[in-house]
Amino acid sequence: MAALKYSGMDDTDSEDELPPGWEERSTTDGWVYYANHEEMKTQWEHPKTGKKKRCAGALLYGWEQETDDKGQILYVDHINKRSTFFDPRQAFTVEDLQVKPKRYDGNSTALEVLHARDLSDRVVLVTGANSGIGFETARSFALHGAHVILACRNQSRASKAASLIMEEWRKARVEAMPLDLASLRSVREFAEIFKARKLPLHILVCNAAVCTQPWNLTEDGLETTFQICHLGHFYLVQLLQDVLRHSAPARVVVVSSESHRFTDLVGSCGKVELSLLSPPQKEYWSMLAYNRAKLCNILFSNELHRRMSPHGVTCNALHPGNMMYTSIHRSWWLMTLLFTFARPFTKSM
């Protein structure tokens, strides 16, 4: 109040009444602005309330907006044969209630991100949704009304995860379907079963991943980390791309990692070496394999968006955060120890 008194703005009876030296004007498209004749400046916010306003509706019958020789806007009342520089619509202004986008940080939850959104007409597919980031993602979608499918290798854990969500909200539409990304046959069977159900697919979250795995080959003869983290998802999206197009607007979300920056796919000759993606055991290092798979995620996401966005399907890759405490590190005792020490200072699932 002291500031208002100092500036002479406390002399008015109404909070909407302008202080001395100020004038209310409007633009051609109806937005109200304020002119300060003493300081020779204009601003969008009301000098006293700080609110923004716009004129509601069209000009009254008989009124017309014109421009004089100096380029100033004036309003002509053809019925009463008069003109004025004051927009008659300013008698019926409404406050511009602009909701500023909420900023999210490391303390934000999946539920907060989707707050107040109605997803009851959406079908969402989340891979690796029985625990960690995938579970929280699936839970948030389901609690906001979406039909959520938990695509997981371990069906007992997936069914338990679905039950937990339904216990939280009995109307939740959530189900588990078997999907083993370490088997291209399983990916193909999953896609066939999903297509047979004639469901749309509005959101596909490629979340499932493994890290710090000992060297091993899948039934397809490929290194496990590469196939689960990248190739399995790549194949899944290819098989479901027609469903995504027919469900547009739709999106694909690929959970990658900042660790993709700590590797490349270029060999000693300066060219891309595909052999780096599925190396033999003697050349295998688990973290490097994970980093390369996550780099593939980024490249795949960018190219998929380029090809699919004209058809109404967007694709984004994301980094979920550093040292997120999930079960992804369970295969190596050293990583488990590091995550345990970091847990008090990071977000936990």
Handedness of CA 293, 295, 151, 166 (dihedral sign): positive
Q: What is the DSSP letter of 60?
A: P
Least Cα distance to 188 among 235, 118, 222 occurs for 235
Q: What class does CATH assign to 22-94? A: mainly beta
Q: Report residue 183's pLDDT band, with 50, 70 and 90 as the boundaries.
A: very high
The sign of the torsion formed by the CA atoms of 200, 206, 207, 212 equals positive
CATH superfamily entry for domain 110-265+274-345: NAD(P)-binding Rossmann-like Domain (3.40.50.720)
* pLDDT on residue 156: 97
- Return the beta strands (E) in 226-287 as ranges: 250-255
Per-residue pLDDT reduced to its tens digit, 49-70: 888 887 776 777 677 888 877 7
Contact call for residues 67 and 75 (beta carbons, < 8 A): no
Taking the C-alpha atoms of residue 196 and residue 62, their distance in angstroms, rounded to an integer, is 62
Catalytic residue positions, numbered: 290
Alpha helix ranges (H) inside the chain: 2-6, 110-113, 132-143, 155-168, 184-196, 224-226, 232-246, 286-308, 333-342
pLDDT at residue number 324: 59
Asked whether residue 230 carries a pLDDT value surpassing 70, the answer given is yes
Tell me whether residue 140 is exposed, middle or buried, using C-beta atoms within 10 angstroms of its C-beta: 0 to 12, 13 to 18, 19 or more.
buried
In whole angstroms, what is the distance from residue 249 CA to residue 183 CA?
30
Count the neighbouring beta carbons within 10 Å of the beta carbon of residue 123: 22
Residue 208 makes CB contacts below 8 A (sequence gap 6+) with: 127, 128, 134, 151, 152, 153, 181, 228, 229, 232, 233
Burial class (CB in 10 A: 0-12, 13-18, 19+), 15: exposed
Flag whether pLDDT at 328 surpasses 80.
no
- Average pLDDT of span 109-115: 84
Q: Where are the domains of the chain?
A: 22-94, 110-265+274-345
How far apart are the C-alpha atoms of 164 and 147, rounded to whole Å? 15
Per the CB < 8 A criterion, the answer to whether 115 and 142 are in contact is no
Q: Do domains 22-94 and 110-265+274-345 have the same CATH topology?
A: no
Q: Is the pLDDT of residue 288 over 60?
A: yes
**In this predicted model, what pLDDT tens digit does every residue of 148-173 receive, in sequence order?**
999 999 999 999 999 999 999 989 99
Q: What is the mean pLDDT of residues 251-264?
A: 90
Residue 266 pLDDT exceeds 70: yes
Other CB atoms within 10 A of residue 51 CB: 15
